Structure 1
C-alpha cells in the first residue's frame, strides 16, 4: 500500500514539470522565430514598403529589434488627417436642365396674360436644383431693352477668364459709343477713360447705356458678341444697335435671360473669381420694382423696400431690368431660404409707358411664390 501511494505522488509532480519545460522551450522558439522575421522585414519597413500598425510599432521590443526602421506617426501627420478637408454633402451647383414642367404655374401665367390681351408677354422660371420649370412663350424674341446687359456682362467676364482683358483696363469713350438715356458716362468729355470694373458695374448698377456700348466694343463689337451668344445657346439674344435702342431692335427671350444667369451660377462658364465678380456686379442693380417686388407680394411681404423685406424671409434676388417705354423686362437669380436657387425672366411689350406692362411683370413674378417656398426641415433635438 505504501509503495503504491509513493508512485502516484512521483507521477503527480512529473507532469507539471514537463509542461512548464515545454512552455519555456516553445516561448524561446517563438521568440527566436519572431526576432528573425522582424530583422528580415526591417529593410522593407525602413523603405516603407510595409507599414506596421501603430500599436505594434510603439512597443519597446519592436523598436529595439528594428532600430530606426520604425518611426512612430508624427503629430503633424496625425493633425493633417484630422484637418483634412471635408467633402461637401449639401446642395451642389446645378446646370440649366429643365426636366418637369410646373403646369399649374404655366397655366396661371397664361390666365394673367389673357387679362391684358393687347400686351405681349413672355415668362420663364427654372428651379436649378430639381429641374422643375414653367414657361409661357419663353423662347419668343422680344425687345430686350436693358435686360440684354446681363448676357453682355457674361461675355465680357469670359474675356477676363481668357486673359485677354484686365479688370482695371482703361476703356476710352468715343463719339460712336455715347449713349443717351440712363447713366452718367455720356456727360463726360470724349476721350474720357474708365476702368473696366467701373464700366461693367455702372452698366448694371444704373443701367448706363454708354458703359454698355463700351462693353460691346471691348468684346469685339456687335457681330462678335452675337456670335458668342449663339455659341452659348442664346438664340434669341441679338445686339442690332448701340444702346439705348429705343426702337427695340435688340432682342432676347425670357428663356435666354434665365439661361445666361444659370450658366454662371451652375459653374458651366466663368472661373470662380469671375463668377464672384458677376454676382457682385449684379448685386449693385438699383431697380427692384419688378421681379423682386412681385415676388415679395406673392410671399405676403409688407409693402416697402423689396430687398429688405425679402431678406427677412431668407430670399435674395440678383436682377437686371429693362425699360424703353414700349418694352419692359426683368430677369434674375433667386436664392431661396433653404439654399436652393432659381432663375426667372419676364418681358412685356405694349403701349408707350403703359403702367399695365410693369404691373403684369409683378403679377407674373408673384405667381411664382407658392412654388418657391422653402422645404421645411424639422428641428433637431
Structure 2
C-alpha cells in the first residue's frame, strides 16, 4: 500500500512539473496594455521566443530598425568564423594608434597610443563596454562585406552592417546599420545551439555576451544574479537590447524603441517589458 501511495504521489508531482513547463507563457494582454499606454510617438519593436524558437510574442516583427551597437553581434560572429578558418588568431596582438580612435562608448580611445592588445581583448571590449574603437578595428580586419555575406549565408536578409561606428557622414548619406528583431534572435539562437563557427568559439561568444556591462535595459528589473547574455545599443534615435535570459527554460528577447525624447524613459520601458516577459517564463 505504501509503495502504491508513493508511486501515486511521484506520478502526480511529475504531472504538475510537466504542466508547469507547458503552461509557461508571456502575458500578451499585459504587454499590449502596456504598449497602448505609451506615447504615440514611441515605436516599440520586439520579439520574445523560447530557446527552441517557439514564438511567445512579437510586435512589428517584420520591421527593420536602426541597430545601434547591437550590430556588434554579427561582427563578433564573423570574427569567430574567420578564427575557425585560421584567417585570424585571437591571441595575435594589435598595436593601438591614435588614428583609429573614435568617440562614443568604450575605453580604448583613452588608452595611450602604442598599447598592444590581443584580438580577443579587442573583441571582449567591443561587447563589454561597446567600444567603438575596438569595433572599427575589427571591422577593418574582417571587412564589412564579409559580415554581410555571412548574414546572407544564414538567410538573414534585413540585418546589415553598412558603416563603421561614429561615421556621421555615412548616416547623413543614408548608410545606416540595421537589424530585425526576429533575425537577431535567430542569430543568438545559432550561437547558443553552437551551430556557427565552432562549439568552443560559440562558448566564447556567449561568455563575452554575458559580460556586457550595460544593465540599463533588459536586465534593469530582473533579479540580481540572473545570468543574461546580451548586447545593447544606443543612439539618439534608438535604444535596444537583445538577450538570452537563463531562466529555468532559457528564452530570447529583443526590444528596440524609437521615437523617444528621453533615453532614460526608453530604458525603463525596455526594462518593464522584459520584466513582464520574465514574470511569465521564469
Q: Same fold (TM over 0.5)?
A: yes
2: CA distance, partners of 1:176 / 1:324? 23
Instruction: Note if contact 1:139-1:236 (Cα within 8 Å) is conserved in structure 2.
Output: no
- Which of 212, 226, 232 does residue 321 from structure 1 map onto? 232
1:236 maps to 158
Matched, 1:330 2:244: no
For the residues of structure 2 that align with 1:217 and 1:139, how far apart are their CA atoms? 30
Q: Which has the higher contact order (CA 8 A, sep 6+)?
A: 2
SS class of match (2:220): helix
Residues in 2 aligned to 1:146 and 1:135: alpha-carbon distance in whole angstroms: 22
Counterpart in the other structure of 1:255: 182
SS in 1 for 2:105: coil
Q: CA deviation at 1:198?
A: 0.5
For residue 345 of structure 1, what is the aligned residue in structure 2?
Answer: 254
1:224 counterpart residue number: 146
SS of alignment partner, residue 291 of structure 1: coil
2:27–2:276 Cα contact (<8 Å) kept: no
Check conservation: 1:122, 1:348, Cα contact below 8 A.
yes
Q: Which residue of 1 aligns with 2:280?
A: 371
* Residue 212, structure 1, aligned to residue 135, structure 2: yes
**Residue segments in structure 1 that go unaligned for 5+ positions in a row:** 1-101, 297-308, 374-381
Q: What per-residue deviation string (whole Å, max 9, x for no partner) do you get for residues 116-143 of structure 1?
A: 2101110011112472432111231111
Contact conserved, 2:231 with 2:243, CA < 8 A, in 1? yes
User: Quick one: structure 1 residues 181 and 108, their matched pair in 2 at CA, closer, same or farther if it must change by over 3 Å?
Assistant: same
Secondary structure in 2 aligned to 1:292?
A: coil
1:279 corresponds in structure 2 to 206
Tell me the CA shift for residue 176 of structure 1.
6.3
Offset, 1:325: 2.4
- Classify the secondary structure of the residue corresponding to 1:237: coil
Where does residue 45 of structure 2 map in the other structure? Answer: 122
126, 141, 144: which one pairs with 2:67?
144
Q: CA RMSD in A?
A: 2.3
- 1:113–1:119 CA contact under 8 A, matched in 2: no
Question: Partners in 1 of 2:110 and 2:27 — Cα distance?
Answer: 48
- For 1:60-209, what aligned pairs fall within 5 Å after superposition? 104-105=27-28, 107-115=29-37, 116-129=39-52, 131-173=54-96, 177-188=100-111, 192-209=115-132
Gaps of 5+ in 2: 1-24
Q: TM-score with structure 1 length normalisation? A: 0.61
Cα 1:249/1:288, change in 2 over 3 Å? same
Report the Cα distance in structure 2 between the residues aligned to 1:143 and 1:179, rounded to whole angstroms. Answer: 20
Given that 1:145 and 1:322 are in contact with CA atoms closer than 8 Å, whether structure 2 keeps it comes out as yes
Which contiguous aligned blocks of 4+ residues in structure 1 show a shift greater than 6 angstroms? none
Is 1:289 the equivalent of 2:233?
A: no
- The count of aligned residue pairs is 252
Alpha-carbon deviation of 1:113? 2.7
